[in-house]
Amino acid sequence: MLVQTAVMAQPVVIAHRGASGYLPEHTLAAKAMAHAMGADYLEQDLVLTRDGELVVLHDLYLDRVSDVASKFPGRARADGRHYVIDFTLDELRQLNIAERRKTDNPQDPTLAFPGRFGLNQSRFGVHTFKEELELIRELNRTTGRAVGIYPEIKSPSFHHQNGQDIALAALKVLKDYGYTINDGSVYLQSFDPHELKRLKTELKPKLQVNLPLVQLIARTDWQITEEQLSTGQWVNYDYDWMLAPGAMETIAQYADGVGPHIGMLLDNQNGKLEPNDLVRQAQAQGLVVHPYTVRADALPEGVGSIDELHDLLFKQAGVNGVFTDFPDLTVRYLGR
């Protein structure tokens, strides 16, 4: 199995939603392709169905990657979206999954990333977390490789508000599939610091597992996480402290790594992007740093090529790995 700590030099390649630059995100085909491309880890975004099954999908709702609106008319919520948590696994299996579209409008064929896999070409479906773990286990066995997993529990606050405990559900499946120790085969990630603390102090001891936790860092105005006040009210979580001095020391008390957005690591100095101090501060606290997301077709402003971005992240900033939509290009850059 892979073993990595913050002080080890070998950076890791995390296939973001699989080889999502080449195939529709989070399909089993995209995961198999990323495995074959030499990724060290395959990412799973996890959401719960109405009947409590973990499925591998990025959004809480289905509208941008499926034909849910035509298959299940009348099942949208008031905001017009069709939420995974309102559908059973059997219902989700009736959907066709396709390349991500830019909007929720089913009539709008604009892709989120123009030039990627064609809309509604071939046939893909929804699969469970367990099915993906089985795919990876069997691919590891048949290829003799030891590719790890990097699951993210999506919006625990939303799941709690809908009567589901996604952190507990994910941990149970991980334990059932043999992911129980910190041996480099798994990282468990979340944007929700309250849930990460709960995992560390309550759920991991309860299930007797010891998996490394990664705090994903968002901008507050993305409105990605809600927290519950003592009054019971749910409010937008304020991430600003995570980018302030001293934050890494606090995060290191409950997590083993951080996943910042790439833009949080790079400052614009007179028109030139230069790394700031965040990576060094995190690593000084023993945290690994795995920023998201390297995309050859959506480079940060001022960056001319994917390898220029690789240089900035690996050589200048000194990250311990990256989430990448193009695992082959990151593997090649690292000379593997």
Contacts to ligand G3P by CB under 6 A? 16, 45, 58, 152, 189, 216, 259, 292-293, 323
Strands 266-269 and 12-15: unpaired
Q: In whole angstroms, what is the distance from residue 308 CA to residue 301 CA?
A: 12
Does position 59 bind Ca ion by CB under 5 A?
Answer: no
CB of 44 to Ca ion, least distance (A): 8
Q: In whole angstroms, what is the distance from residue 235 CA to residue 327 CA?
A: 36
Does position 195 bind Ca ion by CB under 5 A?
Answer: no
Q: Which does 61 bind (CB under 5 to 8 A by kind): Ca ion, ligand G3P, none?
A: none
By beta-carbon proximity to Ca ion, the closer residue of 76 and 174 is 174
Q: Which does 259 bind (CB under 5 to 8 A by kind): ligand G3P, Ca ion, none?
A: ligand G3P
By beta-carbon proximity to ligand G3P, the closer residue of 98 and 214 is 214
Q: Active-site residues: which are they?
A: 16, 58
Q: Which does 53 bind (CB under 5 to 8 A by kind): Ca ion, ligand G3P, none?
A: none
Site for Ca ion, residues 121 to 160, rule: CB under 5 A: 152
Close Cβ partners of 238 (under 8 Å, ≥ 6 residues apart): 220
CB of 129 to ligand G3P, least distance (A): 15
Q: In whole angstroms, what is the distance from residue 179 CA to residue 159 CA?
A: 23
Site for Ca ion, residues 227 to 256, rule: CB under 5 A: none
Nearest to 224 by CA among 45, 76, 12: 45
CB of 260 to ligand G3P, least distance (A): 10
Q: Which does 257 bind (CB under 5 to 8 A by kind): Ca ion, ligand G3P, none?
A: none
Cis peptide before 201 (omega within 30 of 0): no
The piece of 42-50, 67-75, 95-103, 114-122 that touches Ca ion (CB under 5 A) is: 42-50
By beta-carbon proximity to Ca ion, the closer residue of 91 and 152 is 152
Q: Which residue is nearest to ligand G3P (CB)?
A: 292
Helix segments in 177-310, DSSP class H: 193-198, 204-207, 247-251, 278-284, 306-310
DSSP run (H or E) holding 34: helix 28-36
Nearest to 65 by CA among 30, 13, 41, 14: 30
Close Cβ partners of 141 (under 8 Å, ≥ 6 residues apart): none
For Ca ion, the binding residues (CB under 5 A) are 45, 152
